[in-house]
Structure 1
């Protein structure tokens, strides 16, 4: 961390540990040659892959299956100007293996907007980066030590 920028780089393990503390993140993908961002609820799989459960007929599934995407989640405290952000980048694929699908029905994410036919999308954690804002301040300029 540069002493003047107030940010600390997070390693992969720290990033994955933080991701499991929040229920919602954002899938960043390309839609009609333009950047698109969609908030989703998610869980992490055993290998750190991001798992999303959604309608089989959703635009998201058709747009990201087989594509390289980014997934971002964060937690921010506006009062103390502190928080963290983690980005996972990798290939997104629809889970098609029947045994894997059954496993994920038990342990994977629950859809917040259930649909008649749902699929699981896995985003491989090929590259995981993150940073934490440290030494936050209140909106009144009072420093809160860590």
Structure 2
């Protein structure tokens, strides 16, 4: 049986601070009729928006403009059973304004997907949630002995 013991909900500010520590996350979107999850590098902004850089020929660049997506990043230590996870949910926009593209191109070396034709996609943070495995315990309760 699933128990919520050991988890602590994170506030938005804490979620954004944690996201700033991680270079790779996962974008969750819908292919025609199917869910898809793809690892991406990103560089969160202080307002919670999540800009991604990808190749213009990539599937996300072709299918997610204007779509509602989720973005997830986490850090887990299997040895200590500790860690956290953050999810940003929002609508995507392909960045087309030249000054904004230039700013994003020089924002952070974490946005580093090499491509002769790159596209910046911004996820506007409509919902930011997170959980911290605060006490190092198992989310499933004590181990069962058989």
TM-score by length of 2: 0.87
Per-residue Cα deviation, 1:89-137 (whole angstroms, up to 9, x for no partner): 000111011111111111154323x111101100011100000001115
4+ residue segments displaced more than 4 Å: none
The residue aligned with 2:130 is 130
1:1-146 maps to which residues of 2 (within 5 A)?
5-108=5-108, 109-112=110-113, 114-137=114-137
2:144 maps to none
Relative contact order: is structure 1 or structure 2 higher (C-alpha 8 Å, sep ≥ 6)? 2
Structure 2 unpaired stretches of 5+: 139-146
Indicate if the aligned counterparts of 1:86 and 1:130 stay in contact, CA closer than 8 A.
yes
Indicate conservation of the 8 Å contact 1:79/1:137, yes or no: no
* CA–CA separation in structure 2 for the residues paired with 1:61 and 1:17: 27
Shift in alpha-carbon separation, 1:123–1:4, aligned structure 2, 3 A: closer
Aligned length: 135
- Between the aligned partners of 2:91 and 2:137, the Cα distance in structure 1 is 38
> For residues 111 and 49 of structure 1, what CA distance do their matches in structure 2 show?
18
**Rounded Cα–Cα distance in structure 2 between residues aligned with 1:110 and 1:86:** 19
- TM-score, length basis structure 1: 0.87
After superposition, the C-alpha distances for 1:23-76 in whole angstroms (9 at most, x for unaligned) are 110000001211100001110124221111111121111121110000000000
Instruction: Could you tell me which runs of 5 or more consecutive residues in structure 1 were left unpaired when the two chains were aligned.
Output: 139-146
